[in-house]
Chain A
Amino acid sequence: MKVKVLSRNPDDYVRETKHDIQRVPRNYDPSLHPFDVSREYTRALNATKLERVFAKPFLASLDGHRDGVNCLAKHPRSLSTLLSGSCDGEVKVWNLTKHECVRTLQAHEGFVRGMVVRHCGTSFFTIGDDKTIKHWKMEAPGYGEEEEPLNTILGKAVFTGLDHHQKNAVFATCGHQVDIWDEQRSTPIRSFTWGVDSFSSVRFNPVETELLGSCASDRSIVLYDMRESTPLKKVIMTMRTNTISWNPMEAYYFTCANEDYNLYTYDMRHLENPVKVHIDHVSAVLDVDYSPTGREFVSASFDKTIRIFPKDSANSREVYHTKRMQHVICVKWSADNKYILSGSDEMNIRLWKANAAEKLGVLSPREKQAIHYSQKLKEKFQHHPQIKRIARHRHLPKVIYHQKNELKVMKEARRRKERNVRKHSKPGSVPVVSEKEKHVVSVVK
């Protein structure tokens, strides 16, 4: 007779001393792990619920300005530095880690219209309602020294927008016309006009650095090449565009914030149709900024909310609002892709997490692994109705909620009317116009 009976030595399965970690022998045989799909689903559901529980995006409010915050500027070299300009002409430099203002200067009389930090990070430019461009040092003046700009340029008209070249000592302003300035000179080296007399913003392309985009008051977005003497082309839309932002990774795309509550992502090469129409805001969109990865962008709106859109999705994935935040005028996405900064009418700058449920601080490897695992599970089961419902739900202020419904009704009514018109007219005489085509009037080259 040959016999063997299962006989385990407990020493192989139990830790030797209290100071060891417990032994956990594994066996991955699927028959020992029944209900794998249902258990994973339950885990995914729990992870989704916990994500909503932990979604606390608001981090801090930086207060100190005595008027509404009109513009923000990121520091290209230092993550913790932020510059803000307010409607009373004051510029503040903030330390974000300490949540405190490190420097205040009275830069202009009237609004600070625009602000940009030079690519080296040692100085910055401001423009204001007093028709001046001022060049400031980043460092605060020493004790007893007076706060004075390095250089002041007096312009002929009010400037409304400002951006600096990525590498060269060149910057662009807009206002009456789009001007390209050399830092060393007091007259623009080049000026562009195209039949309009007011521009609201100008932005350099981050990759093809000689290209610029600007938005004008005649509802157009104009593209320029700095090396040429004439503008490249423009697209005229039904409503005015407030700001544009270039995608830093795929720099032929730019997104513009429009007065008609929408954002439009355009391909620079084909301006006939926007690539995507981003709807969700219920009031004019005032500012837009891309994340450094180029996969998402954040928009600030007159409806007192900030929304985050994936670059290729029509609807926002996130909406941020607080009871006290008024019309958001400017918004920036931090260079480490983790934070969002917004400046609003009621004199505060707010610091938000870009990913609402993210845990800040150093993560242990096990924590990281668990986060990755639950992320994957959420992705896997994202289309299940229950999970989708929980993941998509956002609380909105009452006003916005009702306004949203109202807009929906209006849109539906327009659609119905158009359908009825089409039904009662000669076939083909009322063509179907897609949402993308609706908003573009013409493209001029």
Chain B
Amino acid sequence: MASPSEADVNVSHVEKKKKRPVRYWQGTEGKTKDDNKTEGQPEQQKRQQNRIKKKRKRDEQPDGGKKVISGKSDPFPGPPPIPKDKLEKFKRKGKIQKPLQHHYKLKDIITRSEEASEMAQKQAARFDLLLPEDAGFLEGDEDEDTCMISQEDIADAVDITSGAKHFNLKLCQFGPYRLDYSRTGRHLLLGGRRGHVACVDWQSKQLMCELNVMESVNDVKWLHTEHMFAVAQKKWLHIYDSNGIELHCIRKFNDVLRMQFLPYHFLLATASATGFLQYLDVSIGKEVAAICTKTGRLDVMCQNPHNAVIHLGHPNGTVTLWSPNQKEALVKMLCHQGGVRSVTVDKTGTYMVTSGMDKKMKVFDIRAFKPLRSYFLPTGASCLSLSQRGLLSAATGDIVQVYRDVWSTPVTKPYMAHRVRGSVWGLGFCPFEDVLGVGHGEGFTSMLVPGAGEPNFDGLDTNPYRSAKQRQEWEVKALLEKIQPELITLDPSELGYVDRANFEQRHQDRVEALGFDPLGKEKFVPKHKKKGRSSAAGIERRKRQVAHEDQRDVIRKTVEDRMKLEEERNRMKEKKAALSGKRSALDRFKK
């Protein structure tokens, strides 16, 4: 086919081709041709073998470690082992199921990412050893009960700076007080029932601002920084800055009784006396959702810090879980026989502790929605609060009790107890400190509770020692990665899973979004024929010709299948009949 041109048939001036480089499969050829090479090769081979031997030797060494010049081998070869519980602590998710063999690219990606995450987990677990601080503790001597140790004794026993963290603010004029610590634990916000609002840098005891709003105050809450706080007043929700200047009066939010701030979503959730649960996006100042819970006055509220779901307690003994994306409660749990007085959820989002009018305090596992423990308190707990390390404080009348390990072991007596003056109104552990703040009728008490706070903070997230510049940086970063309220679900890691929605589900979503079915078949419209040939009967006839066309095939097929089956059955019957053709003696009894 190919016709070489005449020119290159008799071309003789082609340059002599260069010698082709020797390839590995031509090894034997090269040996016979080249004498030099034959001499060189065995030596090379020998060297190579030696190298392999050496390598093998190194591998075979029992410790596998490097030889030191002195000849001694490393007694602890390899990286130090990591305790299993440490590794478990830093585990973020389970292993992904490996895909089938033919998805080799996906498999490769998954293997790599798994390796990387495992490495990160190991590194984090190793780094855990280097954390500078240890958690606090309180141990009594023999036959000494820790709950009998008074606050004064503890304050005397510890160093001066820690001792100074136990103090009383006598504010008997405008009480009782609600309180809130900022996320870094540096700042304290106090709100008296009769209108007194004060924010304090409580560690240096510096008063940042103090004002009287001349209205009753239901709740106070810090917003994302210590420069803004929200006050739920008699009628409306107000936002002040740290100088006490009123920034906003939000009239959409009325009769607010309780508030929760979701720091990663920049949402302020409020529960009102009219039964409304409202969400305010504080970064853009817009109401995100307003849900009518239809359950009456809402004065028991807490958030799940793990998944930003709001828990509401109701007078009929139920606790309901809410997200801003749904008009109905995500979950309704019947927790108590009387009304629910207080709810709190631990940091990991595993346990919920509730107390009710039936004088019981119950612990629930809110991943499985199952009760774990139930305790009877003689006077019942009016306020509950959980610390970062899982200590539970409960206010019973004017006594504040602190419990340890309420979910793992049945507790018989409190870890600590303290009596304050006047009944307790607000209770809160200070983050990253061993301090419990108690707001009561006669003011505010700061209690020392050893072992309450997380000893090591993360400087990029919540840094109590951050400078103004660092705070500004953090604020910008945090606002940039503000999580949208649509992502609030019961399982916060849901976004990381593979979407296994099948075609039907996806199609259904599409139909819902579009308002019509894009894949739906168009209805047959007969062509209009002229000259009177498009009579109503004719149109109907034409319609009937194509009616159920798509179903006809299916029907035909099923009919054919059925016929085939019938035939088969008949044949089998005949066969059987043929086999059992001989009459037995007992056949005469057959009907």
Task: With A31-B347, A182-B15 as known contacts, state yes or no: A38 contacts B453, CB within 8 Å.
Answer: no
Closest to B89 in A: A29
Q: Does B161 contact A (CB under 8 A)?
A: yes
Q: Does A14 contact B (CB under 8 A)?
A: yes
Q: When A and B form their complex, which 6 residue pairs have the shortest distance between CB atoms, in order from nearest?
A: A24-B459, A13-B465, A28-B124, A37-B496, A5-B162, A2-B139
In the complex, are the beta carbons of A34 and B264 less than 8 A apart? Answer: yes
Closest to B497 in A: A37
Q: In the complex, what distance in Å separates the CA atom of A41 from the CA atom of B134?
A: 33
Q: Does A323 contact B (CB under 8 A)?
A: no
In the complex, are the beta carbons of B461 and A32 less than 8 A apart? Answer: yes
Q: Does B448 contact A (CB under 8 A)?
A: yes
Closest to B483 in A: A38
Q: Give the interface size bracket for B toward A.
A: 35 or more
Q: Does B2 contact A (CB under 8 A)?
A: yes
Within 8 A of B (CB), among A175-195: 177, 182, 185, 188-195
Distance to closest chain A CB from B454 (angstroms): 7
Return 18 A-B CB contacts under 8 Å, by A number.
A1-B139, A2-B141, A3-B139, A4-B136, A4-B450, A13-B464, A25-B459, A37-B493, A37-B495, A39-B264, A42-B481, A42-B483, A188-B7, A192-B5, A194-B3, A229-B4, A229-B8, A445-B1
Interface 0/1 of A27-61, CB less than 8 Å to B: 11111111111110111001000000000000000
Residues of A within 8 A of B154 (CB): 3, 5
Binding site for A on B (CB under 8 A): 1-5, 7-9, 11, 13-15, 17, 89-92, 124, 127-128, 131-141, 144, 149, 153-154, 157-159, 161-162, 165, 264, 305-308, 347-348, 432-434, 448, 450, 453-465, 467, 469-470, 480-484, 487, 492-496
Closest to B92 in A: A30
Closest to B137 in A: A4
Q: In the complex, what distance in Å separates the CA atom of A384 from the CA atom of B487?
A: 13
Closest to B109 in A: A379
In the complex, are the beta carbons of B132 and A227 less than 8 A apart? Answer: no
Q: In the complex, what distance in Å separates the CA atom of A29 from the CA atom of B348?
A: 11
In the complex, are the beta carbons of B492 and A32 less than 8 A apart? Answer: no
Task: With A27-B457, A35-B308, A231-B2 as known contacts, state yes or no: A191 contacts B482, CB within 8 Å.
Answer: no
Q: In the complex, what distance in Å separates the CA atom of A438 from the CA atom of B4?
A: 30
In the complex, are the beta carbons of A27 and B136 less than 8 A apart? Answer: no
In the complex, are the beta carbons of B483 and A39 less than 8 A apart? Answer: yes
In the complex, are the beta carbons of A6 and B493 less than 8 A apart? Answer: no
Say which residue of B2, B153, B158, B347 sits within 8 Å of A5 (CB atoms).
B158
Distance to closest chain B CB from A365 (angstroms): 18
Residues of B within 8 A of A8 (CB): 133
Q: In the complex, what distance in Å separates the CA atom of A380 from the CA atom of B7?
A: 60
Q: In the complex, what distance in Å separates the CA atom of A437 from the CA atom of B2?
A: 24
Q: In the complex, what distance in Å separates the CA atom of A182 from the CA atom of B11?
A: 13
Task: With A5-B162, A32-B461 as known contacts, state yes or no: A46 contacts B495, CB within 8 Å.
Answer: no
In the complex, are the beta carbons of B158 and A26 less than 8 A apart? Answer: no
Residues of B within 8 A of A1 (CB): 138-141, 144, 149, 153, 157
Residue in A13, A25, A192 with the greatest tally of chain B CB atoms within 10 Å: A25
Say which residue of A5, A13, A31, A43 sits within 8 Å of B434 (CB atoms).
A5
- Since A4-B450, A46-B481 are in contact, a sample of 15 more A-B pairs with Cβ atoms closer than 8 Å, ordered by chain A residue number, is A3-B137, A5-B158, A6-B455, A7-B158, A25-B132, A25-B458, A25-B459, A25-B463, A26-B460, A27-B131, A28-B124, A29-B128, A32-B458, A34-B492, A229-B4
Q: Give chain A's interface secondary structure class.
A: loop
Closest to A9 in B: B161
Residues of B within 8 A of A13 (CB): 463-465
Distance to closest chain A CB from B292 (angstroms): 27
Task: With A3-B450, A41-B487, A42-B481 as known contacts, state yes or no: A33 contacts B157, CB within 8 Å.
Answer: no
Q: Does A12 contact B (CB under 8 A)?
A: yes
Task: With A25-B459, A190-B14 as known contacts, state yes or no: A46 contacts B159, CB within 8 Å.
Answer: no
Residues of A within 8 A of B136 (CB): 3-6
Q: In the complex, what distance in Å separates the CA atom of A26 from the CA atom of B131?
A: 8
Residues of B within 8 A of A357 (CB): none
Closest to A445 in B: B1
Q: Does A106 contact B (CB under 8 A)?
A: no
Residues of A within 8 A of B9 (CB): 229
Residues of B within 8 A of A22 (CB): 467, 469-470
Q: In the complex, what distance in Å separates the CA atom of A95 from the CA atom of B131?
A: 56
Residues of A within 8 A of B484 (CB): 42
Q: In the complex, what distance in Å separates the CA atom of A4 from the CA atom of B451?
A: 8
Q: In the complex, what distance in Å separates the CA atom of A379 from the CA atom of B348?
A: 29
Q: Does A293 contact B (CB under 8 A)?
A: no
Residues of B within 8 A of A190 (CB): 7-8, 11, 14
Closest to A184 in B: B15
Within 8 A of B (CB), among A421-445: 444-445
Residue in B1, B139, B161, B484 with the greatest tally of chain A CB atoms within 10 Å: B1
Residues of B within 8 A of A445 (CB): 1
In the complex, are the beta carbons of A2 and B138 less than 8 A apart? Answer: yes
Binding site for B on A (CB under 8 A): 1-8, 10, 12-14, 22-39, 41-43, 46, 177, 182, 185, 188-195, 227, 229-231, 384, 444-445
Q: In the complex, what distance in Å separates the CA atom of A1 from the CA atom of B155?
A: 12
Task: With A2-B138, A24-B460, A229-B9 as known contacts, state yes or no: A37 contacts B492, CB within 8 Å.
Answer: yes
Residue in A8, A195, A230 with the greatest tally of chain B CB atoms within 10 Å: A8
Residues of B within 8 A of A27 (CB): 131, 456-458
Q: In the complex, what distance in Å separates the CA atom of A379 from the CA atom of B4?
A: 52
Closest to A234 in B: B2
In the complex, are the beta carbons of B454 and A32 less than 8 A apart? Answer: yes
Q: In the complex, what distance in Å separates the CA atom of A46 from the CA atom of B479?
A: 11
Q: In the complex, what distance in Å separates the CA atom of A332 from the CA atom of B165?
A: 71
In the complex, are the beta carbons of B5 and A191 less than 8 A apart? Answer: yes
Residues of B within 8 A of A185 (CB): 13
In the complex, are the beta carbons of B495 and A41 less than 8 A apart? Answer: yes
Distance to closest chain B CB from A295 (angstroms): 15
Residues of A within 8 A of B460 (CB): 24, 26
Q: In the complex, what distance in Å separates the CA atom of A329 from the CA atom of B89?
A: 61
Q: In the complex, what distance in Å separates the CA atom of A387 from the CA atom of B189?
A: 40
Distance to closest chain A CB from B139 (angstroms): 4
Task: With A3-B137, A24-B460 as known contacts, state yes or no: A444 contacts B1, CB within 8 Å.
Answer: yes
Distance to closest chain A CB from B498 (angstroms): 9
Residues of A within 8 A of B92 (CB): 30, 36
Residues of B within 8 A of A25 (CB): 132, 456-459, 463
Say which residue of B7, B14, B459 sits within 8 Å of A23 (CB atoms).
B459
Q: In the complex, what distance in Å separates the CA atom of A268 from the CA atom of B92?
A: 48
Say which residue of A34, A43, A193 sits within 8 Å of B3 (CB atoms).
A193
Residues of B within 8 A of A195 (CB): 3
Residue in B2, B132, B153, B154 with the greatest tally of chain A CB atoms within 10 Å: B2
Residues of A within 8 A of B450 (CB): 3-6
In the complex, are the beta carbons of B348 and A3 less than 8 A apart? Answer: no
Say which residue of B13, B14, B140, B305 sits within 8 Å of A34 (CB atoms).
B305
Distance to closest chain A CB from B199 (angstroms): 21
Residues of A within 8 A of B138 (CB): 1-4
In the complex, are the beta carbons of A189 and B11 less than 8 A apart? Answer: yes
Residues of A within 8 A of B134 (CB): 4
Closest to B492 in A: A35
In the complex, are the beta carbons of B161 and A7 less than 8 A apart? Answer: yes
Residue in A35, A182, A188 with the greatest tally of chain B CB atoms within 10 Å: A35
Closest to A43 in B: B481
Distance to closest chain A CB from B202 (angstroms): 15
Residues of A within 8 A of B462 (CB): 32
Distance to closest chain B CB from A403 (angstroms): 24
Residues of A within 8 A of B493 (CB): 36-37
Distance to closest chain A CB from B203 (angstroms): 10
Q: In the complex, what distance in Å separates the CA atom of A193 from the CA atom of B149?
A: 105
Residues of B within 8 A of A5 (CB): 136, 154, 158-159, 162, 165, 434, 448, 450
Closest to B459 in A: A24
Residue in B3, B5, B133, B165 with the greatest tally of chain A CB atoms within 10 Å: B5
In the complex, are the beta carbons of B133 and A6 less than 8 A apart? Answer: yes
Residues of A within 8 A of B480 (CB): 42-43, 46
